[in-house]
Chains A and B, each alone.
Chain A
Amino acid sequence: MSDLFTELAWLPKVPLDFRQSCRTLLHRADPGRAIAQLAGFALDENQLARLADAIERLRAAGRSLAPLVPFKLGVLGNATLEPLVPALVASAARHGIALECVRADYAQTMAEALTPDSVINRAQPDAVLLSLDYRGLPLTPGLGAGEAAANVADALRFVQELRTGFRRYGRALCIVQTVPPPPEALFGSFDRAAPATLRSLTAAFNSALAQSVAGTEDVMFDVAALAETVGLGRWHSPTQWNVAKFSFDSRFLPLYADHAGRILGALRGKSRRALVLDLDDTLWGGVVGDDGLEGIVIGQGDATGEAYLDVQRMALALRRRGVVLAVSSKNDESVARSVFLKHPEMLLRENHIAVFRANWSDKATNLRAIAAELSLGLDSLVFLDDNPAERGLIRELLPEVAVPELPEDPALYARTLAAAGYFESVAFSHEDGSRADFYQDNARRALLQTQAGDLDAYLASLEMRIVFRPFDATGRSRIAQLINKSNQFNLTTRRYSELDVAALESDPDVFTLQVRLIDAFGDNGMIGVIICRPLGVRAWEIDTWLMSCRVLGRRVEQMALRELLHHARLRGIERLVGRYIPTGRNAMVADHYRKLGFAPVEEVGSITTWEIAADAQIAPAPMVVDRTAFELVAAAEG
């Protein structure tokens, strides 16, 4: 199991050719974009150093790092700083910053601040990071209550003088760190009550420091909170302190640097502004189009339902602090909206959502439209979706959008989203709170802009393998389940029991197909069921055609039709007849046969009938076909 915080598990895993990609950065025409993309992976300390090396080389060669925004940071501290710098440089790129660091010598704190021509002051940085360790502050445990208060005041004055010095001589704002206390207690729980223990001294110092920052230009870096999040006992490494004066265990360097990067990004207006939410299995459990309003899992009293409530609660809290919310979902719009309107357990309601896009277009098109409607750049969006294929699509087509990886357990969705820190803010004003409303109004005025990205290239990158088999005992129960559960992508919605399905397996007159799809993200399982029955001589009627909505937009339908036609020809069939029987829930496939090249034959009431010749040529989609266990297959056709 990977640790969410230590491993930056919201970021995608590092590709195997990462070092190679770093080396070729120098030859890229647009190194800034490429750097941002490489920085977007869950880099460990060595990988951060690699990327930082490449950035330094590009800078030395005078290359532009745009669209990354330049930022010069003084780095000062009373512990070892060398390893911080490359980690900061690479992590800042993840947050849109081309960072240049100016590092003071070890423990040259006060002299750096108060000497006008010190290394940092001479560089006139945009900000100075005061990376202070409690061991370098004048905090002395063991005194009485009165002395303890004076002691905290001394430590605070020390930091205050640094801040004043850098403002005066370096014209820089300061990023001030809280100090994590060591885990070693002196008395035990009483440490919290005794004023002169390190636990109490650091707590008093941290809280006074936070108050001293309010209303100034300087900003907080709550390293104490970071250490508490991962555990003080893990944060502090006595060995690494003794050997190299590392303030914290270097395994947390990527985490520390990412948090610092967020602050730099926030200072340059790079924090994200909008959260785009998928619906099925992201805001509630289940698929509303199939399971119905009553069938989805959301709400108190059910462990899974409460997990989804947590996601909604977090989205609402973010909205209250000014993050605008939008929806992108593959659903019928009326079905999707009905949950927001009618489900009693929903916390999110329609009036919280600035842009609601529930349709069957691909999500890249929808995200572009959402950004346009909100008049925001794509780099302001965060996209939350449980489906790894959708996440992959957006990362591929719209690399500017932040797309967190999600764990399998929905209980961890909210925590993962929060851990990613997309909405980092260094201050909060009253106007910030009403920003979501502003964008929402803006969206009502704005125009829709729809474009398709390079879908083909993306589909090819999915390395899809489609597997066709006739019905068999192994697939039987899943086939029956799909036949009885699928509502949306279901042309005729005919229900058959497991016994019926078993009978179809051995019926020589019937042609059956079960479809599985495997892609780069894993096995999607059975995603399609088709049943054809003889219609007079030399024709088949498609009795049942249903598919899982999970794989929509992958051209799987097209490949299934190719397969059907192939078997039809082998069996001397000349035409295929399909019917669409509307049920109120399968509107999404009303045009299914037309899109696949069938011709309309007749319309009786609302039922439409379609036909295609068995020798029709259907273009292949980018996937490998795996065809097994068909008895009659001759070698006549490949």
Chain B
Amino acid sequence: MTLDAIYQRLTTILRDVFDDDTLVAGPDLTADQVDGWDSFAHLRVILTVEKAFNTTFSAAQISSLKNVGELAELIEAKVAK
């Protein structure tokens, strides 16, 4: 799966989680820039991503993500395996 495709699906997921159709998942997007992205919303994002990409993340991975770019790269690495 290409990074482009991953970002596309992440956009859908973010719009679903935050009910905001203006959101676009890009590498520099961070939680601070999104209304309502608190720690529970973060888990919802992660769990929705896990389901959508049929993968799981470790606690360390979940808490270390700095921005959507890192999430996308993590997904890319997981899905490639």
What separation, in Å, do the CA atoms of A61 and B44 have in the docked complex? 27
Within 8 Å of chain B (Cβ to Cβ): is A632?
no
Pair A83/B19 contact, Cβ less than 8 Å: no
Across the interface, name the chain A residue whose C-beta is closest to B63.
A243
Pair A82/B16 contact, Cβ less than 8 Å: no
What separation, in Å, do the CA atoms of A299 and B30 have in the docked complex? 61
Chain B 39-76, CB-CB to A under 8 Å as 1, else 0, gives 11001100110010000111100110000000000000
Across the interface, name the chain A residue whose C-beta is closest to B20.
A19
A residues less than 8 Å from B47 (CB atoms): 45, 240, 250-251
Interface size on A, residues (CB 8 A): 19
Pair A239/B43 contact, Cβ less than 8 Å: no
Within 8 Å of chain B (Cβ to Cβ): is A46?
yes
| Count: A-B pairs, CB below 8 Å | 41
A residues less than 8 Å from B16 (CB atoms): 19, 46-47
Pick the contact of B19: A19, A45, A82, A244 (CB < 8 A): A19
Give residues 41-69 of A contacting B (CB, 8 Å): 44-47, 49-50, 53
Within 8 Å of chain A (Cβ to Cβ): is B23?
no
Pick the contact of B40: A53, A82, A239 (CB < 8 A): A82
Within 8 Å of chain A (Cβ to Cβ): is B24?
no
Chain B contact residues: helix, strand, loop or mixed: helix
Pair B51/A50 contact, Cβ less than 8 Å: no
A581 to chain B, nearest CB (A): 59
What separation, in Å, do the CA atoms of A32 and B29 have in the docked complex? 38
A45-B47, A82-B40, A243-B43 known; A53+B19 contact, CB < 8 A: yes
Pick the contact of B59: A19, A53, A242 (CB < 8 A): A242
Within 8 Å of chain A (Cβ to Cβ): is B17?
yes
Pair A251/B58 contact, Cβ less than 8 Å: no
Pair A239/B51 contact, Cβ less than 8 Å: no
A46-B44, A46-B48, A250-B43 known; A239+B19 contact, CB < 8 A: no
What separation, in Å, do the CA atoms of A33 and B62 have in the docked complex? 39
B residues less than 8 Å from A50 (CB atoms): 19
Pair B44/A45 contact, Cβ less than 8 Å: yes
What separation, in Å, do the CA atoms of A242 and B60 have in the docked complex? 10
A83 to chain B, nearest CB (A): 6
A residues less than 8 Å from B40 (CB atoms): 82-83, 244
Of the candidates B40, B47, B56, B57, the one having the most CB atoms from chain A within 10 angstroms of its own CB is B47
What separation, in Å, do the CA atoms of A251 and B56 have in the docked complex? 12
What separation, in Å, do the CA atoms of A250 and B19 have in the docked complex? 19
A residues less than 8 Å from B19 (CB atoms): 19, 22-23, 50, 53
What separation, in Å, do the CA atoms of A223 and B17 have in the docked complex? 27
A361 to chain B, nearest CB (A): 42
A residues less than 8 Å from B63 (CB atoms): 243
Across the interface, name the chain A residue whose C-beta is closest to B61.
A239
Chain A 596-626, CB-CB to B under 8 Å as 1, else 0, gives 0000000000000000000000000000000
Across the interface, name the chain B residue whose C-beta is closest to A19.
B19
Chain A 540-569, CB-CB to B under 8 Å as 1, else 0, gives 000000000000000000000000000000
Across the interface, name the chain B residue whose C-beta is closest to A45.
B44
A248 to chain B, nearest CB (A): 12
Pair A46/B17 contact, Cβ less than 8 Å: yes
A19-B19, A251-B51 known; A239+B58 contact, CB < 8 A: yes
B residues less than 8 Å from A23 (CB atoms): 19
B residues less than 8 Å from A240 (CB atoms): 43, 47
Give residues 5-21 of B contacting A (CB, 8 Å): 16-17, 19
B residues less than 8 Å from A22 (CB atoms): 19
Pair A239/B56 contact, Cβ less than 8 Å: yes
B residues less than 8 Å from A49 (CB atoms): 44
A residues less than 8 Å from B17 (CB atoms): 46
B50 to chain A, nearest CB (A): 8
Give residues 432-453 of A contacting B (CB, 8 Å): none
B71 to chain A, nearest CB (A): 15
Give residues 9-38 of A contacting B (CB, 8 Å): 19, 22-23
B residues less than 8 Å from A244 (CB atoms): 39-40, 43
B residues less than 8 Å from A239 (CB atoms): 56-59, 62
B residues less than 8 Å from A83 (CB atoms): 40, 43-44
What separation, in Å, do the CA atoms of A243 and B45 have in the docked complex? 14
B58 to chain A, nearest CB (A): 6
Pair A243/B62 contact, Cβ less than 8 Å: yes
What separation, in Å, do the CA atoms of A638 and B78 have in the docked complex? 57
What separation, in Å, do the CA atoms of A337 and B67 have in the docked complex? 66
A residues less than 8 Å from B51 (CB atoms): 44, 251
Residues of B with Cβ closer than 8 Å to A? 16-17, 19, 39-40, 43-44, 47-48, 51, 56-59, 62-63
Residues of A with Cβ closer than 8 Å to B? 19, 22-23, 44-47, 49-50, 53, 82-83, 239-240, 242-244, 250-251
25 residue pairs bridging A and B, Cβ less than 8 Å apart: A19-B16, A19-B19, A23-B19, A44-B48, A45-B48, A46-B16, A46-B17, A46-B44, A46-B48, A47-B16, A82-B40, A83-B40, A83-B43, A83-B44, A239-B56, A239-B58, A239-B62, A243-B59, A243-B62, A244-B39, A244-B40, A250-B44, A250-B47, A251-B47, A251-B51
Known: A45-B44, A83-B40. 12 other contacts (CB 8 A): A19-B19, A44-B48, A46-B16, A46-B17, A46-B48, A47-B16, A53-B19, A82-B40, A239-B58, A243-B62, A244-B43, A250-B43
9 tightest A-B contacts by CB?
Answer: A46-B16, A243-B59, A242-B59, A250-B47, A46-B17, A82-B40, A239-B59, A244-B43, A50-B19
